[in-house]
Structures are given as C-alpha cells and as structure tokens.
C-alpha cells in the first residue's frame, strides 16, 4: 500500500485529496474505490488486497474526510466539487505519456456510487465497468433524514473504546463484522483532538446539506442512470432503507440494466469486507 495526494481546486484555493494505492502502478486495469458520506478510503482495504495482484487499486478520501484537507467554505461540500476532484484523480491515473491508457473500473459505496453514476453517465467517460453499492436512482427522503440525525453532529468521546462502541451502534446496518474489522473501521475513522477526546475524522461541515429549514425531499437520479452505457453491478443490503427493493428492481430493467446481487442480514451498506461480497465484485470486474 502506498499513500499519495493530489492537488485539487475549489473557489477558495487548492486543497489536497489523499488516497491510498495498491498493486502494480503500471497495471492495465485501474479500480477506483469511492466511499460513503462519512467514511474514507481505508474502508476498501480488504477488497483492494483481493484485487491488487492483477489491478492497480486507488481509494481516495473525498475532501473533508479521512486525511484529505477540509474546505474553507463549508457550502462547497457537494457533488460538483467531488466530481471535479475525482476528475483530477482520473487524469493522474490515466496518465499523459502517450501510452495505452488503462481500463478504468469504478466501485462506489453510497455517495461513492452516486459519484460513479454521475461520472459514468457523462459523455466520453473513461469508466468501463461500474459497481454501485447500495444506492440507487431514487433515494427516499426518509433515509436522508436518518443520515441527518448524526452527520455533522461532531460527537466527542473520552476514550477510543467509547468511540468504537459508538461506531458499532451507528454502523450496525453494515452487517456482521469481525472484531478486527470493526477495529479497522474505527481506527481509520478516528481523530484525537487537542484535549485528548476522540471524534470522527471528517469535517462536520459535510452535514450542511442536511440542515436546511425545508424538509428533505426524495432524490431522483433516473436521468443520469439511464445515460449509463457500461456494464453495471448493483449491490443491495436486503434491509437497506436507502436502496429500496422496488428501485433496485427497476434498475435492472432501465438504463444499463444492472445485474443485481442482494446480501441478506445487511442494511445500508455492505462493507465489501465479507468474502462473498469481495468475490462478487472481483468476479464482475475481472471475469465477466
């Protein structure tokens, strides 16, 4: 594993986007793995290790998360900025040496899946295969309201163990994980403050979109979804409140007509740490 940064631009100046990289830098296939709203690129460590023998795997921390910089203007957190930053990353990955560009595959969980759909729907997209993990072309307002109950709240804990307990409660929909996997998620989600307390390693400002006075509304992404032309794999936790069963079924019939795989005993979202989840993604990207 190698740690890297790339400079991106917002209206207030440059900011660094951190990412980790696995596998051969000259591999002909590059997998971009993008995390969910409050998560970070280290969520994909186990998937990346499974893909690294034959792929270059790149897992960024979206601005405001993990080891990436925080935006000066918090209103800048949103999909236009995230897409712009990821375009810079794609430019770096595809290179400018005149050689044969690598094949680009995308794995996106929740917010990362939305970003994948938006970029895959764009004309002349470099994305050749797309994995959308537990997010769909229709997102119900009720699920956004649930996210709004904790995003941007900046909880503080006296000890790391208290933070670990909090993670296991808030993130219980991730499904059954081992103690080692929970520790991994907490370790890479934790930030220790100057007073010794522990909190989350993301800018509370990312929660601004959830703090509007007007009620949150359903999100409709059918237009970009139906513009996608690459092979698409759709993953769903059977108990997910973000990707509803009916929406998932429609996505197998519209646009790229995604292949749907559902994982029992999991809500939002499968963490791609279990062997069956990893094998499903790997087989789609490398075999089919």
| Cα within 13 Å of Cα(34), Cβ side | 30
pLDDT, residue 96, reads 56
Are 275 and 248 in contact by the 8 Å Cβ rule? The answer is no
pLDDT, position 214 = 67
Task: Give the end-to-end CA distance of the chain in Å, rounded to a whole number.
Answer: 27
pLDDT of residue 162: 95
Single pTM value for the model: 0.95
CA distance 186 to 180: 10
Q: Is 8 exposed, middle or buried (0-12, 13-18, 19+ CB in 10 A)?
A: buried
Q: What is the pLDDT of residues 179-194, one digit of tens each?
A: 999 999 999 999 999 9
Q: What is the second-level CATH architecture of the domain 2-144+219-286?
A: 3-Layer(aba) Sandwich (3.40)
- CA-CA-CA-CA torsion sign (191, 62, 112, 26): negative
- DSSP reduced 3-state for 7: strand
Distance of alpha carbon 211 from alpha carbon 144, whole angstroms: 11
Q: Give the pLDDT means over successive 10-residue stretches in the chain (288 positions).
A: 96 97 96 97 98 98 98 94 97 76 96 98 97 96 78 87 94 94 96 94 88 75 98 98 97 98 97 98 92
Q: What is the DSSP string of 185-209?
A: HHHTTEEE-TTS-EEESB-GGGGGG
pLDDT score, position 97: 59
H or E stretch at 104: strand 103-109
- Alpha helices (runs of H) in the chain, residue ranges in sequence order: 45-51, 79-94, 111-120, 141-148, 160-170, 179-187, 222-226, 245-251, 275-286
């Amino acid at each position: 594993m190698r740690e890297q940064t790339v400079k991106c631009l917002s209206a207030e100046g440059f900011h660094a986007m951190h990412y980790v990289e696995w596998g051969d830098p000259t591999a002909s296939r590059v997998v971009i793995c993008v995390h969910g709203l409050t998560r970070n690129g280290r969520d994909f460590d186990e998937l990346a290790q499974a893909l690294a023998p034959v792929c270059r795997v790149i897992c960024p921390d979206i601005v405001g998360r993990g080891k990436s910089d925080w935006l000066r203007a918090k209103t800048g957190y949103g999909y236009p900025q995230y897409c712009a930053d990821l375009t810079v990353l794609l430019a770096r990955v595809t290179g400018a040496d005149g050689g044969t560009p690598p094949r680009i595959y995308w794995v996106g969980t929740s917010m990362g899946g939305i970003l994948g759909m938006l970029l895959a729907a764009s004309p002349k997209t470099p994305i050749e295969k797309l994995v959308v993990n537990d997010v769909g072309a229709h997102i119900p307002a009720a699920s956004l309201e649930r996210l709004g109950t904790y995003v941007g709240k900046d909880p503080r804990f006296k000890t790391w163990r208290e933070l670990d307990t909090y993670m296991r409660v808030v993130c219980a929909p991730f499904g059954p994980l081992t103690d080692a996997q929970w520790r991994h998620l907490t370790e890479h989600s934790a930030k220790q403050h100057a007073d010794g307390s522990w909190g989350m390693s993301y800018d509370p400002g990312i929660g601004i979109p959830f703090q509007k006075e007007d009620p949150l509304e359903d999100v409709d992404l059918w237009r970009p979804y139906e513009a996608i032309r690459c092979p698409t794999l759709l993953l769903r936790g059977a108990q997910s409140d973000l990707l509803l069963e009916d929406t998932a079924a429609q996505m197998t019939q519209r646009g790229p007509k995604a292949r749907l795989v559902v994982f029992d005993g999991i809500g939002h979202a499968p963490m791609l740490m279990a062997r069956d989840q990893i094998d499903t993604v790997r087989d789609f990207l490398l075999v089919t």
